[in-house]
Structure 1
């Protein structure tokens, strides 16, 4: 591999996303050409800075934080109303069946 190719592959070498052959070739080139170590150090520093920047999420608008503090009901209001209606219907049906058995 030429020096320029090695420099291009350093970010993937650092993350371990290169194949075994390419990683071995870069390792050998780094061992044989100490001047490439400066490029490796730079790539490592950039990678570290990039990771640190990614771990800090951007701040969210205050509205989202305010909404997060409010308790969230387990079931939406519409669903709660529907469940209430179903229970009432089941109760009426149960009473109607009991009444029908009494008449038989």
Structure 2
């Protein structure tokens, strides 16, 4: 389910930029599963429905990388991304911005 939403969420970017080597829409399901098991991976839910995901990993002390971060296209532009970033900042209060 998450992999499908990730692919769908990045399709417009892939069509526009044709960045086949780096676009999350081109990732295999195995790469997505590896990320889920290897890093801090959060499933974004609205009620009982999965609408996206976000992966964070520490790259240096108190420095984190966010990648990928995606919301299903039908839930974009409704403020969910901003809410998730605010929740993430609360989760990592000592992180450098």
| Bucket of the pairwise TM-score, normalised by the shorter protein | under 0.3
TM-score computed with the length of structure 1 as normaliser: 0.25
Whichever of the two has the greater Rg, that structure is: 1
Q: Which has the higher strand share?
A: 2
